[in-house]
Every structure is written in structure tokens, then in C-alpha cells.
Amino acid sequence: GFDMDYTLCEYMSPEFDELAFNLAKQFIVDNLGYPEEILGISYDPQFPVRGLWFDRNTGNLLKVDQFGKILDCQHGFRILNSEEIKSTYPGKIQRKDEKRIFVMNTVFNLAETCLVAALIHHFESKDDTECRATGWVRAGKEVTFAQVFKDIRSAIDDMHVDSLLLKKTCIANLTKYVKKDDRLPGMLERIRASGRKTFLLTNSDWWYTKHIMTYLLGDEDRTNQDNWLSYFDMVVVDSCKPRFFSTGTPLQRVDTSTSTLVPLSAGISGPEVYSGGNHTTITSMLGAKGPDVIYAGDHLLADVIKCRKLCEWRTLLIVPELLHELEVTQKNFGLLSQLSKFEAVLADNPDLGELKMRLWDAVNELNKDFGGSGSLFRSGNKLSYFGSQVMIWADVYTGTVNNLASYDLEQRFVMDTVKLPHEKDIEEDFIRSGMSSSLANDSIESMQ
């Protein structure tokens, strides 16, 4: 099974992110009273990274580990040092409180991550702004960080759901915003030719899905608009993930000839396109059992974590940023080892202030190579919340779903055995003892 957005459909970055950024700016100026001066703020593709937590109370963007320990903290575009973090977050801990914290889970969130930081930086840099702990006062008007973020979320909801401006603009210029990969048709055909079934399961509606999938898989001359449907045994739109993996929503049929929803009892002919439903019903309709299904999607929470928690489907997480992460990690591999050595020395000598500063500088140097907000998976040599969740929940992950075209359909992916520290010590002792025995034997043989 395949998700559509950022899975089968790969959006061009930074073009698509910049579009969402600009539409959000325009919305809050036109509808929410923000000054036109903010329209001059430009999108910075080097700044945002997925997986950050936005703190509505302080306006900070946090990168945390799986326990809520703060690894990095930014206010606007400014990186806070350790003492500043401790003064705001006792113990450098922030729990995932839904009323206070919003998690930037998806690639769609990159635009608002950049915009909220840019607006805070912009207004707090003004001479006539009085900065406060929860926001600022300008021209006699108090603005909280929570309100700014609420306004941005209203803009994002509008372009996705109400005005549909993001989708309409994208459809009007597909070659600019959507990547077309020649491997996709062949990959899907190969799966079906093997006797396996394929299905598309997306939260997008039929109108948008039809446009995107026609572009990706339809006839070049657009004479047969529904040709792309032949690549799937079933298509499900309006799936409402993650609810799809629990209670779901009422299952209806999509009449593709009229683009309307009709009851299952209507008995219409044509392609099997449905709206809503839940994982139990869809699995049954496919004639499969839970573990038989592997589902590919980009949303760590909605496509992977909730799927693994609530049903038996296996998961393939799509991480579009992976190629960039790999390139930077390979370039800085020696620096990661250096960080580990610094931390080992600090563990024995916690009062070495100079070493702490060198460690801080080394972490920042590594983070900057990834971008303004560092790596998606880590800060220094510590895994981020996103990185740890990938380790726990995703069966497999890759940078693009089209990488499947490079593997045999019988390929088995087996991860390395996870070893606890005491098991690693035993293994290292065994290797050392084996080497000692080998050296002793070599010496005896040479003497003989």
C-alpha cells in the first residue's frame, strides 16, 4: 500500500515549501491584520528541519530526545545556550504537552516552522517592540507567541482545506512543484505482475488525487484520464489517518464518472475507488491478513506509529531528507567520533569547563552542516525525538519509494541485532581474547 503526498507524489523542495510560506504570509496579512511589511520576509530553505517542537508559551523551537530532554533550542533565528535553556526549562526537560507543544511532524510543516521563527525574529528586532516572556507589545497591542502560531495554523488550514490555494496553485503548475520519476510506473507494474496487490491510501480527496496521479501515471497525451487507476487494485481517498487505523470513518464508493460519493449499495460499475473506511475493512476487501500488508508513507505519526500501534500492517517510512542527511553524515563521520571521545572524557571530569565549550562548539559545527536547525535525526551524537521514533516504529525506511525498484520483490531486510551495553562488553572481550589466542598461535608457528 502507498500514501500519495510525499510518497508516490514527491514535491519539489524548496519550491513547494516556499509556495506554502508565501501563501501563509499573504493570508495573515489579508485576513488577520498583520502589517504588509512581513510580505518582504523571504523563505530560507536552509533553516527549517522536520520534527521540531514549537512551544506556544515561549515561542521557542525545540529539538528534544525521546524523553523530552532538550538538545537544541532556538528563539526566532537565535540559538539559545545551555544556561538560557536551563533558565526557561528546569532540568532542560519539556514534556510533550499537547496544549503547549505542537510537533512539526511532516514535510508540509517546514513552511510554518520557518514562518513562525521568521515572524518572531522580525517583530522582536524592531526598535518599537517591547519584548515579553510570552510575546511582545507593539503600537500598544499585545501579541502572544501562541496567537501568532494559531494565526499561522489558520493560514495553513485555509490553503489545504478551505480555499485550496496550495493545491490549486500546484495543479496549475505541476512541472514546477511535482517531481516525476520514471521508475514509478515500472515499480508498480512489477509488483502487480508478481501476483501481489497494490493499493493507494491517502488523506487527500478524490479531486486532488485524480489530478496528481494522472500527472504521475496517466497517459502522456491525457486522452485516458483514468489510466493511472490500472496500477492499483484499490484506491482509498479521504482516509482520515490516523483515525483510519482505529475507528475509521464510514466507507463510501467514489463514482469516478461524476466525482461524487455514493453508498456502497449503489452498485455502480467502474474502478474500485472508495472514500473513508478503516484498516480492518480494507484489509478484508483486499483478501489479505494484517501482516501480509506493508504500507509506505511519510508521516511518522499517522502513517507509521499509529499503524504499528493499532494494526498488524508492516511499515515503510519515506524520509525525503535522507539523501541530504547521508551526504552530511559521511562528510562529518570523523567529527561524530570526536564528539563521543569528548563526552567520555567529560563523564570522568564533569568540571572541565573548557572541554564543555569545545564540545558545544563541535556540536554546533556539525549541526550547521545539516542546516540552520541541524539534523533531522540527531543533535551531535544524540538521537532526536524523530530519530528515536524511527528506530522504534519503522520496519524499514528510505529516501524515496522509488528505491524499491532497485530490489528484488523477495528481498528481506534484516536489521542488525540491537545489543545492550553489557552485551557489547562481552563481545569486545571475546574479540580481544580471540585476537590474543590468534597472536599466540602465530608466535608458536613462527618459532617452529
pLDDT digits 0-9 by tens, 357-373: 676 677 777 788 899 99
Predicted confidence band of residue 352 (pLDDT cuts 50, 70, 90): low
Please give the Cα distance from 413 to 432 (Å, whole number).
Answer: 30
pTM over 0.85: yes
Q: What is the mean pLDDT of residues 404-421?
A: 90
pLDDT at 444: 43
What 3-state DSSP class applies to 144? strand
Please give the Cα distance from 77 to 74 (Å, whole number).
Answer: 6
Please tell me the least confidently modeled range out of 65-69, 113-117, 283-287, 364-368: 364-368
Q: What is the mean pLDDT of residues 74-101?
A: 96
pLDDT at 347: 66
Cβ count within 10 A of residue 356? 15
pLDDT at 303: 98
pLDDT digits 0-9 by tens, 258-304: 889 999 988 888 888 999 999 999 999 999 999 999 999 999 999 99
Positions annotated as catalytic residues are: 3, 5
Q: Residue 439 belongs to what H/E stretch? A: helix 421-447
Across 181-265, where does the E strand assignment appear?
A: 199-201, 234-237, 249-255, 260-262
pLDDT at 266: 87
